[in-house]
Amino acid sequence: MMFETLTQPNTSRIDYFADPRLPQPEGVGLYVSGMLHPGQPYSREAKQALMVGLCLILHTWLAEHVAAIYVDVASWQAEWPPAYNQMKQDLARGFIRRILVANPRFFHGKTALLEDWQAFRRQHAHIEWYVPAHNLARVLPLRCNPWFRLL
């Protein structure tokens, strides 16, 4: 169950809604991430990102094209979240070409992870990246800008 994933540190979950062996030219992915802080029963960051991401997908043109949902719940020690790595592999091989990163703040304070994400975005400029707007009411395209700073 998806909620169980949010209750354990250093866990990940990937749900495919299309055959991952076949390219989905119109396919969209959702990347959900968050920290599980000591004393929390579940990752509030990941739960909020999941809810925001799903609501945005349902209220945009993306709903009929969802091909995968990638979820990472990390502790402070985790560096390379597994679902993040699988998302990159799927994007690089052309399974999907659009991705909504529901919690871009997850990359704050993780210098190596942020640099990896920015380098990946530069190497794969054909991929369409989206993030939630400040008011969480719509998605915004994330342009490939080497000086881009996350929210």
Amino acid at 106: F
In a structure prediction context, what are the per-residue pLDDT tens digits for the chain, which is 151 residues long?
A: 678 899 998 899 999 999 999 999 999 999 999 999 889 999 999 999 999 999 999 888 778 899 999 999 987 666 689 999 999 999 999 999 999 999 998 888 788 888 999 999 999 999 999 999 887 778 888 865 443 444 4
- Dist CA 91 CA 93 (whole Å): 6
At residue 76, the pLDDT reads: 61
At residue 108, the pLDDT reads: 82
At residue 129, the pLDDT reads: 93
Helix (H, G, I), strand (E, B) or coil at 42: coil
Strands 66-74 and 11-16: antiparallel
**φ, ψ at 67 (rounded to 5°):** -110, -25
Domain ranges of the chain: 2-142
At residue 9, the pLDDT reads: 85
- Dist CA 151 CA 133 (whole Å): 10
Residue 109 gets the label, from left (phi > 0), alpha (psi -120 to 50) or beta, of left
The pLDDT tens digits of the residues spanning 86-126 come to 999 999 999 999 999 999 988 887 888 889 999 999 999 99
Looking at domain 2-142, which of 3.30.450, 3.30.310, 3.30.1480, 3.40.50 is its CATH number? Answer: 3.40.50
At residue 62, the pLDDT reads: 74
